[in-house]
Structure 1
Amino acid sequence: MFDHIGIVVTDLKAARRFYDAIAAALEVQTKENGPDSFQFGKSAEQPIPYLWIGTLIPSYWVEGSKAGRNQSHIALRARDPAMVRAFHRAAIGAGGKDHGPPGRRKGVPSYYGAFVLDPDGNNIEACYRGAVAEAV
Protein backbone atom coordinates (compact mmCIF):
# COMPACT_ATOMS: atom_id res chain seq x y z
CA MET A 1 0.00 0.00 0.00
CA PHE A 2 2.84 2.45 0.71
CA ASP A 3 6.13 3.07 -1.08
CA HIS A 4 8.13 4.30 1.89
CA ILE A 5 7.77 5.92 5.30
CA GLY A 6 10.41 7.95 7.10
CA ILE A 7 10.91 8.66 10.77
CA VAL A 8 13.55 10.78 12.45
CA VAL A 9 15.25 9.49 15.58
CA THR A 10 17.50 11.14 18.14
CA ASP A 11 19.93 8.24 18.68
CA LEU A 12 20.76 6.26 15.54
CA LYS A 13 22.69 3.57 17.44
CA ALA A 14 19.75 2.87 19.82
CA ALA A 15 17.30 2.93 16.90
CA ARG A 16 19.46 0.52 14.90
CA ARG A 17 19.64 -1.92 17.83
CA PHE A 18 15.83 -1.78 18.22
CA TYR A 19 14.99 -2.12 14.50
CA ASP A 20 17.62 -4.85 13.92
CA ALA A 21 15.97 -6.88 16.70
CA ILE A 22 12.43 -6.53 15.38
CA ALA A 23 13.62 -7.11 11.79
CA ALA A 24 14.98 -10.50 12.81
CA ALA A 25 11.74 -11.38 14.63
CA LEU A 26 9.63 -10.37 11.60
CA GLU A 27 12.01 -12.01 9.08
CA VAL A 28 12.83 -8.77 7.28
CA GLN A 29 16.10 -6.83 7.07
CA THR A 30 17.81 -3.58 7.86
CA LYS A 31 20.45 -2.13 5.55
CA GLU A 32 22.91 0.72 5.58
CA ASN A 33 21.84 3.93 3.93
CA GLY A 34 24.75 6.20 4.84
CA PRO A 35 26.17 7.48 8.13
CA ASP A 36 22.95 9.19 9.23
CA SER A 37 20.26 6.63 8.33
CA PHE A 38 19.32 3.05 7.55
CA GLN A 39 16.40 1.26 5.92
CA PHE A 40 14.06 -1.41 7.23
CA GLY A 41 12.39 -3.61 4.60
CA LYS A 42 11.91 -7.01 3.01
CA SER A 43 15.18 -7.60 1.11
CA ALA A 44 17.61 -6.34 -1.51
CA GLU A 45 15.56 -8.24 -4.09
CA GLN A 46 12.33 -6.54 -2.89
CA PRO A 47 13.49 -3.11 -1.68
CA ILE A 48 10.08 -1.38 -1.71
CA PRO A 49 8.21 -0.71 0.50
CA TYR A 50 10.67 0.37 3.16
CA LEU A 51 10.91 2.38 6.35
CA TRP A 52 13.66 5.04 6.32
CA ILE A 53 15.09 5.72 9.80
CA GLY A 54 17.62 8.47 10.37
CA THR A 55 18.82 11.50 12.28
CA LEU A 56 18.63 14.00 9.40
CA ILE A 57 15.87 16.59 9.57
CA PRO A 58 13.69 16.22 6.46
CA SER A 59 13.26 19.29 4.27
CA TYR A 60 9.46 18.82 4.31
CA TRP A 61 9.10 19.13 8.10
CA VAL A 62 7.32 22.23 9.37
CA GLU A 63 9.30 24.65 11.50
CA GLY A 64 9.61 23.50 15.12
CA SER A 65 9.42 19.77 14.38
CA LYS A 66 11.89 17.47 16.09
CA ALA A 67 12.39 13.77 16.67
CA GLY A 68 10.21 12.38 19.43
CA ARG A 69 7.86 15.36 19.46
CA ASN A 70 5.25 13.98 17.08
CA GLN A 71 4.68 10.30 17.74
CA SER A 72 4.35 8.12 14.66
CA HIS A 73 2.46 4.83 14.41
CA ILE A 74 3.55 2.09 12.04
CA ALA A 75 1.95 -1.36 11.83
CA LEU A 76 4.08 -4.19 10.45
CA ARG A 77 2.54 -7.39 9.11
CA ALA A 78 3.31 -10.66 10.90
CA ARG A 79 2.87 -14.15 9.42
CA ASP A 80 1.12 -15.55 12.51
CA PRO A 81 0.54 -14.90 16.24
CA ALA A 82 3.87 -16.54 17.12
CA MET A 83 5.66 -13.93 15.00
CA VAL A 84 3.76 -11.16 16.83
CA ARG A 85 4.98 -12.57 20.15
CA ALA A 86 8.57 -12.84 18.82
CA PHE A 87 8.38 -9.20 17.68
CA HIS A 88 7.23 -8.09 21.14
CA ARG A 89 9.99 -10.03 22.96
CA ALA A 90 12.67 -8.75 20.56
CA ALA A 91 11.48 -5.15 20.82
CA ILE A 92 11.39 -5.16 24.62
CA GLY A 93 14.81 -6.85 24.71
CA ALA A 94 16.24 -4.14 22.45
CA GLY A 95 15.13 -1.16 24.54
CA GLY A 96 11.49 -0.83 23.50
CA LYS A 97 8.70 -0.10 25.97
CA ASP A 98 5.53 -2.21 26.08
CA HIS A 99 2.52 -0.28 24.80
CA GLY A 100 0.13 -3.21 24.44
CA PRO A 101 1.09 -6.86 24.92
CA PRO A 102 0.42 -9.53 22.29
CA GLY A 103 -3.23 -10.44 22.03
CA ARG A 104 -6.60 -9.92 20.41
CA ARG A 105 -8.17 -6.47 20.58
CA LYS A 106 -11.82 -5.96 21.45
CA GLY A 107 -13.91 -4.96 18.47
CA VAL A 108 -11.32 -5.95 15.86
CA PRO A 109 -12.22 -9.32 14.33
CA SER A 110 -9.53 -11.73 13.12
CA TYR A 111 -6.75 -9.57 14.60
CA TYR A 112 -3.81 -10.41 16.89
CA GLY A 113 -1.23 -7.74 17.59
CA ALA A 114 1.28 -6.11 19.92
CA PHE A 115 2.43 -2.52 20.38
CA VAL A 116 5.86 -1.28 21.48
CA LEU A 117 7.29 2.22 21.77
CA ASP A 118 10.71 2.52 20.12
CA PRO A 119 13.52 4.48 21.86
CA ASP A 120 12.02 7.77 20.56
CA GLY A 121 8.44 6.95 21.55
CA ASN A 122 7.15 5.95 18.11
CA ASN A 123 4.36 3.37 18.38
CA ILE A 124 5.48 0.31 16.41
CA GLU A 125 2.95 -2.49 16.00
CA ALA A 126 3.14 -6.02 14.64
CA CYS A 127 -0.15 -7.62 13.70
CA TYR A 128 -1.61 -10.73 12.20
CA ARG A 129 -5.05 -10.81 10.62
CA GLY A 130 -6.66 -14.15 9.97
CA ALA A 131 -8.85 -16.97 11.22
CA VAL A 132 -6.11 -18.27 13.56
CA ALA A 133 -6.21 -14.94 15.42
CA GLU A 134 -9.77 -15.76 16.49
CA ALA A 135 -8.66 -19.03 18.07
CA VAL A 136 -5.65 -17.64 20.00
Structure 2
Amino acid sequence: MAGTIDHFGFQVSDVPKLLAFYEPVLATLGIAKVMEIPEEAGFKGAGFGANGKPDFWIWEGGKTAPHLHVAFAASSRAAVDAFHAAAIAAGASDNGPPGIRAHYHPNYYAAFVLDPDGHNIEACCHRAE
Protein backbone atom coordinates (compact mmCIF):
# COMPACT_ATOMS: atom_id res chain seq x y z
CA MET A 1 0.00 0.00 0.00
CA ALA A 2 1.45 3.31 -1.01
CA GLY A 3 1.79 5.97 1.63
CA THR A 4 1.89 3.73 4.68
CA ILE A 5 4.80 3.04 6.99
CA ASP A 6 6.16 -0.49 6.68
CA HIS A 7 8.43 -0.36 9.73
CA PHE A 8 10.45 2.03 11.87
CA GLY A 9 12.95 1.86 14.66
CA PHE A 10 15.68 3.56 16.60
CA GLN A 11 18.92 2.92 18.42
CA VAL A 12 18.86 2.15 22.12
CA SER A 13 21.54 2.19 24.76
CA ASP A 14 21.08 -1.40 25.95
CA VAL A 15 19.02 -3.95 23.98
CA PRO A 16 18.42 -6.39 26.88
CA LYS A 17 17.31 -3.55 29.15
CA LEU A 18 14.95 -2.11 26.54
CA LEU A 19 13.63 -5.59 25.67
CA ALA A 20 12.79 -6.06 29.34
CA PHE A 21 10.84 -2.81 29.10
CA TYR A 22 9.11 -3.15 25.72
CA GLU A 23 8.08 -6.83 25.89
CA PRO A 24 5.60 -6.52 28.81
CA VAL A 25 4.52 -2.99 27.88
CA LEU A 26 3.71 -3.70 24.22
CA ALA A 27 2.06 -7.01 25.15
CA THR A 28 -0.77 -4.94 26.67
CA LEU A 29 -1.50 -3.72 23.12
CA GLY A 30 -1.25 -7.14 21.45
CA ILE A 31 2.26 -6.44 20.15
CA ALA A 32 4.94 -9.08 20.67
CA LYS A 33 8.62 -9.55 19.96
CA VAL A 34 8.57 -11.21 16.54
CA MET A 35 12.29 -11.68 16.05
CA GLU A 36 15.62 -11.01 17.68
CA ILE A 37 18.85 -10.63 15.75
CA PRO A 38 22.03 -11.60 17.60
CA GLU A 39 25.15 -9.49 17.67
CA GLU A 40 27.00 -12.17 15.69
CA ALA A 41 24.82 -11.28 12.68
CA GLY A 42 26.21 -7.75 12.77
CA PHE A 43 22.97 -6.21 14.03
CA LYS A 44 21.96 -6.67 17.66
CA GLY A 45 18.31 -5.84 17.94
CA ALA A 46 14.71 -6.95 17.96
CA GLY A 47 11.55 -6.40 15.98
CA PHE A 48 8.06 -6.15 17.47
CA GLY A 49 4.71 -6.41 15.78
CA ALA A 50 1.30 -8.00 15.55
CA ASN A 51 0.40 -11.00 13.41
CA GLY A 52 4.03 -12.06 12.96
CA LYS A 53 5.27 -8.96 11.12
CA PRO A 54 7.92 -6.81 12.82
CA ASP A 55 7.13 -3.15 12.28
CA PHE A 56 8.82 -1.57 15.31
CA TRP A 57 12.56 -2.17 15.77
CA ILE A 58 15.12 -1.38 18.43
CA TRP A 59 18.83 -1.96 17.93
CA GLU A 60 22.07 -1.47 19.85
CA GLY A 61 23.96 1.70 19.12
CA GLY A 62 23.43 4.23 21.86
CA LYS A 63 20.61 6.56 22.77
CA THR A 64 18.93 8.30 19.87
CA ALA A 65 19.07 12.07 20.25
CA PRO A 66 16.94 13.98 20.14
CA HIS A 67 14.42 11.75 21.79
CA LEU A 68 11.58 10.41 19.67
CA HIS A 69 7.81 10.22 20.05
CA VAL A 70 6.13 6.95 19.07
CA ALA A 71 2.38 6.34 19.38
CA PHE A 72 0.94 2.82 19.36
CA ALA A 73 -2.74 2.19 18.59
CA ALA A 74 -4.77 0.64 21.38
CA SER A 75 -8.02 -1.25 20.80
CA SER A 76 -9.69 0.20 23.90
CA ARG A 77 -9.30 2.68 26.70
CA ALA A 78 -8.69 -0.26 29.04
CA ALA A 79 -5.70 -1.23 26.87
CA VAL A 80 -4.34 2.33 27.21
CA ASP A 81 -4.71 2.06 30.98
CA ALA A 82 -2.97 -1.36 30.99
CA PHE A 83 -0.15 0.03 28.80
CA HIS A 84 0.44 2.90 31.23
CA ALA A 85 0.40 0.65 34.31
CA ALA A 86 2.76 -1.88 32.71
CA ALA A 87 5.14 0.85 31.57
CA ILE A 88 5.34 2.41 35.03
CA ALA A 89 5.86 -1.06 36.56
CA ALA A 90 8.66 -1.68 34.02
CA GLY A 91 10.51 1.50 35.02
CA ALA A 92 9.08 4.20 32.74
CA SER A 93 8.48 7.74 33.90
CA ASP A 94 4.95 9.10 33.63
CA ASN A 95 4.68 11.71 30.89
CA GLY A 96 0.88 12.04 30.87
CA PRO A 97 -1.55 9.71 32.62
CA PRO A 98 -4.42 8.00 30.78
CA GLY A 99 -7.17 10.41 29.82
CA ILE A 100 -9.04 12.27 27.10
CA ARG A 101 -6.97 14.63 24.96
CA ALA A 102 -9.86 16.69 23.55
CA HIS A 103 -7.49 19.10 21.80
CA TYR A 104 -6.90 16.25 19.28
CA HIS A 105 -10.56 15.17 19.10
CA PRO A 106 -13.33 14.42 21.63
CA ASN A 107 -12.61 10.66 21.79
CA TYR A 108 -8.79 10.75 21.79
CA TYR A 109 -7.83 8.74 24.89
CA ALA A 110 -4.11 8.37 25.48
CA ALA A 111 -1.30 7.86 27.96
CA PHE A 112 2.35 8.88 27.65
CA VAL A 113 5.50 7.51 29.28
CA LEU A 114 9.22 8.04 28.90
CA ASP A 115 11.02 4.77 28.19
CA PRO A 116 14.36 4.00 29.90
CA ASP A 117 16.22 5.95 27.17
CA GLY A 118 13.88 8.95 27.46
CA HIS A 119 11.71 8.41 24.36
CA ASN A 120 8.10 9.59 24.64
CA ILE A 121 6.01 6.46 24.10
CA GLU A 122 2.23 6.75 23.77
CA ALA A 123 -0.72 4.42 23.55
CA CYS A 124 -3.90 5.94 22.10
CA CYS A 125 -7.46 4.89 21.40
CA HIS A 126 -9.76 6.87 19.09
CA ARG A 127 -12.96 5.05 20.03
CA ALA A 128 -15.73 6.46 22.18
CA GLU A 129 -16.27 4.16 25.17
Return the TM-score normalized by structure 1.
Answer: 0.82
Matching residue's letter, 2:12: V
Cα offsets for 1:103-129 (capped at 9, x unmatched): 011412210000011110011100000
Q: What residue ranges of structure 1 are gaps of 5+ in the alignment?
A: 57-65
RMSD: 1.4
Give the CA deviation at 1:39. Answer: 0.7
Q: Name the residue aligned to 1:117.
A: 114
Tell me how far apart the structure 1 counterparts of residues 95 and 79 of structure 2 sit (CA, whole Å): 17
Tell me the distance in 2 between the aligned counterparts of 1:123 and 1:21.
17
1:98–1:116: 8 Å Cα contact kept in structure 2?
Answer: yes
User: Separation in 1 of the partners of 2:14 and 2:91?
Assistant: 12
Are 2:102 and 2:108, in contact at CA under 8 Å, matched by a contact in 1?
no
**1:130 corresponding residue in structure 2:** 127
- Pair 1:101-2:93 in alignment: no
Structure 2 unaligned spans of 5+ = 39-43
**Number of residue pairs aligned between Structure 1 and Structure 2:** 120
Q: Is the 8 A contact 2:94 2:114 kept in 1?
A: yes
Runs of 4+ in 1 over 6 A off after TM superposition: none
Match of 2:17 among 7, 14, 17: 14
1:73-129 residue CA offsets vs partner (Å, 9 max, x unmatched):
110000010000000011111111110000011412210000011110011100000
* Cα displacement string for residues 21-64 of structure 1 (whole angstroms, at most 9, x for unaligned residues): 112111111133312100111132xx15x1110114xxxxxxxx
Identity %: 41
Moved more, 27-36 or 79-88: 27-36
Measure, in 2, the Cα distance between the counterparts of 1:20 and 1:43.
15
Q: Which residue of 2 aligns with 1:42?
A: 50
| Cα distance in 2 between the residues matched to 1:38 and 1:83 | 23
Q: 2:74 is matched with which residue: 78, 88, 103? A: 78
Q: Which amino acid aligns with 2:79?
A: M
Query: Which secondary structure does the structure 1 equivalent of 2:117 belong to?
Result: coil
8 Å CA contact 1:68, 1:121 repeated in 2: no
Q: Which amino acid aligns with 2:70?
A: I
